Chain A
Amino acid sequence: MSNVDGHNESLFAYPDEWGHFGRFGGKFVSETLMAALQNLESEYYRLRKDTTFQEELERDLSEYVGRASPLYFAQRLTTQAGGAKIYLKREDLNHTGAHKINNCIGQALLAKYMGKPRIIAETGAGQHGVASATVAARFGLECQVYMGSEDIKRQSLNVYRMKLLGAEVVPVNSGSKTLKDALNEAMRDWVTNVDNTHYIIGTVAGPHPYPMLVRNFQAVIGEETKRQFAEQHGGLPNAIVACVGGGSNAMGIFYPFLEDREVRLVGVEAAGYGLASGKHAAPLNEGVVGVLHGNRTYLMGDANGQIIETHSVSAGLDYPGVGPEHAFLKDIKRAEYVAIDDEEALDAFRALNKLEGILPALESSHAVAYGLKLASKMSPDESIVINLSGRGDKDIPTVAKLDGISID
């Protein structure tokens, strides 16, 4: 039976065996990495069915990460918006303060079961780097984190935190010296050290099987949300809102709802200084289709096919590409993608502090900002869930600086 989008398959049937989500995704890497990707894929499929692996993963998610994270009805935020009831999925309460750890725990366990004693990761703001360094400490793995030298300057707190965790932070001086270049450098390391190293990609991008694998490790967010919402409120929420950089927290909360067509799925990209300014990180809103970091997706590219630099006040959204499954969901219109600029995100950051006593990450503040707008246009008998993907302690210096206060 064909559904409304003309796709015959259930949306749970993606990706195909070569990692395609429709025309997106795939495995666009140099030959040297092919064997490693194939090996990772087959090991993942094997361990997915391995009860020992699954039990260990569940135990760590519960006892180490602190799952399930709460689903919280935000009364005062709801009153402020004056429309739909607003629930917050509290990923900020996970160990290390963000959803990133869900994926890192899963992939570190994969590394352990594959017998790889060393992990590497790329990081922009440092959140995925911290989560990777954390699980490396937890499992006794050697860990190197690649980070653009520009980002190292902007995120000294997380750099120091990774060192405390026993990881080595490797500065990347090539290209724009930011997240995309850190990803390139991590790929180069992996090509060289593929025998003893597992590369933990932090988002639902990269070559197959990463977008699928990271999505599946993050889907715990959506599974819990579905169960908790049914228990606390009954039924399904009318909409789910999540910020999208690479898109892992959004994919994680969207995924279990993909076939619940009555639930609107809204991804919020970073409009930076505004979409019209060109200085943003919103490839799903304003980008072009291209190939970067192993997959075909929407990206920020110029007329010659060079990748262009992005801007967002939130380092975690400051990435020129986006996970290929989001590109697919946009094309088939199963999810909608909007953008929130720096100013709007900062307003939401302050509002959530004052109204609910919750300090959100600047990334998550983009979702809060759009969630408030959306809820205000809906009726009080409707409900939305906003994925509060991380906490904002790391962003206090940035916001204070914008207020003219230096607390470095």
Chain B
Amino acid sequence: MGMLSERLKSLASNNKKALVAYIVAGDPEPGVTVPLMHRLVESGVDVIELGVPFSDPEAEGPVIQLAHERALAHNVSLGNCLEMAAEFRQSDKLTPIVLMGYLNPVETMGYENFAAKASRAGVNGTIIVNLPPEEAVDMSAILEANDIEPVYLLAPTTTDERARMICQVSKGFVYYVSLKGTTGAGNLDIDDVSEKMDRFKKLSQLPIMVGFGVKDGPGARAVAQVADGAVVGSAIVKLMAEHKGDLKKLNDEVGQFVSELRAAID
């Protein structure tokens, strides 16, 4: 069992819900990322999703697109993301890191090469947004051989048949994309999420995290009541964009916001 699975299992056995935070590596500049990752943990985050910048982030809404662009302005590559993960891992041996991104940078690095490097850097899981399980048979095997857990997505439009398959191949957790749309879009329809959770929980042995549309404490709280945890991305990234000119304030504001999310969930 990987570190991601273990961490989520220990949370569940303590009756705690998971708080997952997403930031884009290198946004707004490369030096921000590692200290901010530590700050996220201090403020109550259980799992860090580290976004890998890509030129064509087709599933992202405008807030996260701009974060990708800010990081790419500093030429932040997948290799740099792994360096950041490794630096974080030197002093934090417990918090799982899940890389979230698109297939092309991984494919360019090569699956074997990527998996070996990511494993050495202390990465525990991956979410490759545009890689559905059917196309990922080789990738999943290589990742798992390197102690990295590939996480797959469920959507509101996913049929029961597919959901069953996805819950079987996903490791660590299953990520439920709570709305039809891009990251940060729309408003959370908690009744709908609740209904979908009833359906998917019957098909999954794994914890289910809910993301896309979780923007604040009340949203995170509502989600945590029906799922195993909440993923917050755009709301954090938006806050970072607002304070990109003042890095101390950026850290403080994000820390404060995440503490509020933690309090709301617990």
Which residues of A line the B interface, CB within 8 A?
18, 26-32, 34-36, 174-175, 180-181, 184, 187-188, 191-195, 288-294, 299, 301, 303-308
From residue A237, how far is it (CB to closest CB) to chain B in Å? 38
* Contact string against A for B residues 151-183, beta-carbon threshold 8 Å, 1 for contact and 0 otherwise: 011111111001000100000000001001110
6 new A-B contacts at CB < 8 Å, known A174-B66, A290-B104, A291-B130: A184-B56, A289-B107, A292-B56, A292-B104, A306-B72, A307-B55
Alpha-carbon distance between A315 and B129 when the two chains are bound, in angstroms? 30
Q: 21 interchain pairs (CB within 8 A)?
A: A30-B59, A30-B130, A31-B153, A31-B155, A32-B59, A32-B181, A34-B155, A174-B66, A180-B56, A188-B58, A188-B181, A191-B59, A290-B107, A292-B56, A294-B130, A299-B104, A304-B77, A304-B78, A304-B105, A305-B106, A308-B55
Q: A292-B104, A305-B104 are in contact. Are A31 and B132 (CB under 8 A)?
A: yes
Residues of A within 8 A of B157 (CB): 31-32, 34-36, 194
Q: Is there contact, CB below 8 Å, between B158 and A31?
A: yes
**In the bound complex, CA of A279 to CA of B159 (Å):** 44
The reply to whether the CB of B200 lies closer than 8 angstroms to some CB of chain A is: no
Q: Tell yes or no: B35 within 8 A of A by CB.
A: no
For B176, give the chain A residue with the smallest CB separation.
Answer: A31
B62→A174 contact, CB < 8 A:
yes
Known contacts A31-B132, A187-B58; is A194 also within 8 Å of B180 by CB?
Answer: yes
Give the distance in Å from the alpha carbon of A299 to the alpha carbon of B55 in the complex: 13
Nearest chain B CB to A295 CB, angstrom units: 10
| Across-interface contacts of B195 in A (CB, < 8 A) | none
Contact B58 A31 (CB under 8 A): no
Query: For residue A26, which residues in chain B have a CB less than 8 angstroms away from its CB?
Result: 135
* Distance, CA A3 to CA B167, complexed state (A): 42
Q: Known contacts A31-B132, A34-B158, A305-B108; is A192 also within 8 Å of B103 by CB?
A: no
Q: Are B105 and A29 in contact (CB under 8 A)?
A: no
A306 and B55 within 8 A (CB): yes
Residue of B nearest to A186 (CB): B58
* Neighbour of B185 across the interface among A31, A175, A192, CB < 8 A: A192
Which 9 pairs of residues, A with B, have the shortest CB-CB distance? A305-B108, A305-B105, A35-B157, A304-B77, A32-B155, A192-B181, A31-B153, A31-B155, A306-B55
Q: Are B132 and A29 in contact (CB under 8 A)?
A: yes
A26 to B78, CA, bound (A): 24
- State A194–B157 Cα separation when bound (angstroms): 10
- Are B130 and A305 in touch, CB under 8 angstroms? no
Using A31-B153, A291-B103, A301-B104 as known contacts, say yes or no to A191 and B158 having CB atoms under 8 A apart: no
Q: What 0/1 readout, one digit per residue, does chain B (49-80) give for beta carbons within 8 Å of chain A?
A: 00000111111111001100100100101110
Q: Which of B135, B152, B156 has the most chain A CB atoms inside 10 A of its CB?
A: B135
Asked if A291 meets B69 with Cβ closer than 8 Å, knowing A18-B134, A36-B157, A192-B185, the reply is no
Please report the C-alpha to C-alpha distance between residue A393 and residue B159 in the assembled complex, in whole angstroms: 48
CB proximity of A173 to chain B, nearest CB, Å: 9
Q: How far is the CA of A338 from the CA of B186 in the complex (A)?
A: 46
Give the distance in Å from the alpha carbon of A291 to the alpha carbon of B58 in the complex. Answer: 12
Chain B residues lying within 8 Å of A28, measured Cβ to Cβ, are: 103, 130-132, 135
Kindly state whether residue B190 has any CB partner on chain A within 8 Å.
no
The answer to whether B153 and A175 have CB atoms under 8 Å apart is no
Q: Give Cα A290 to B107, complex, Å.
A: 7
Q: Is B109 an interface residue (CB 8 A)?
A: yes
Contacts of A290 in B (CB 8 A): 104, 107-108
Does the CB pair B54–A306 fall under 8 Å?
Answer: yes
Q: How far is the CA of A195 from the CA of B158 in the complex (A)?
A: 13
A290: nearest residue on chain B (CB-CB)?
B104
Nearest CB on A from B68, distance (A): 9
Chain A residue with the shortest CB-CB distance to B65? A174
Q: In the docked arrangement, what's the CA distance between A39 and B62, Å?
A: 28
**Residue ID in chain B nearest A309 by CB atoms:** B55
A125 to chain B, nearest CB (A): 20
State whether A31 and B55 are in contact (beta carbons under 8 Å apart), knowing that A174-B65, A188-B61, A303-B108 are contacts in the complex: no
Task: Report B70-126 residues with CB < 8 Å from chain A CB.
Answer: 72, 75, 77-79, 102-109
A206 to B130, CA, bound (A): 12
Residues of B within 8 A of A184 (CB): 56-58
Distance between Cα atoms of A304 and B68 in the complex (Å): 14
Residues of A contacting B60 in the complex (Cβ-Cβ under 8 angstroms): 188
Q: Are B108 and A288 in contact (CB under 8 A)?
A: yes
A29 to B56, CA, bound (A): 12
With A192-B181, A294-B130, A307-B55: A31-B104 Cβ-Cβ less than 8 Å: no
Check A188–B103 contact: CB distance below 8 A.
no
The docked-state distance in angstroms from the alpha carbon of A180 to that of B181 is: 19
Which one of A27, A30, A301 lies within 8 Å of B153 (CB-CB)?
A30
Bound form: Cα–Cα A356–B131 in Å: 49
In the complex the two chains form, what is the Cα distance from A170 to B165 in whole Å?
A: 38
Most chain B CB inside 10 Å of its own CB: which residue of A174, A194, A291:
A291
Q: Determine whether the beta carbon of B181 is less than 8 Å from that of A175.
A: no
User: Chain B 129-158 against A: per-residue CB contact (8 Å), 1 yes, 0 no?
Assistant: 111101100000000000000001111111
Q: Give the distance to chain B from A84, nearest Cβ to Cβ, in Å.
A: 41
A35 touches B159 (CB 8 A): yes
| Closest residue of A by beta carbon distance from B105 | A305
Which of A36, A174, A194, A299 gathers most chain B CB within 10 Å?
A174
Instruction: Select from chain A the residue with minimum beta-carbon distance to B61.
Output: A188
B102 surroundings in chain A (CB, below 8 A): 291
The A-contacting residues of B in range 225-258, CB under 8 angstroms, are: none
| In the complex, chain B residues whose CB is within 8 Å of the CB of A30 | 58-59, 129-130, 153, 155, 177
Contact of B104 among A181, A188, A307 (CB under 8 A): A307
CA separation between A31 and B185, bound complex, in Å? 16
Specify which of A180, A304, A308 is in contact with B79 (CB 8 Å cutoff): A304
Known: A26-B135, A35-B158, A36-B157. A192 touches B182 (CB 8 A): yes
Note all chain A residues with C-beta closer than 8 A to B109: 305
B182 in contact with A188 (CB, 8 Å) = yes
> Considering the chains assembled together, what is the distance between the CA atoms of A175 and B60 in angstroms?
12
Neighbouring A residues of B134 by C-beta, 8 Å? 18, 27
How far does the alpha carbon of A282 sit from the alpha carbon of B198 in the complex, in Å? 50
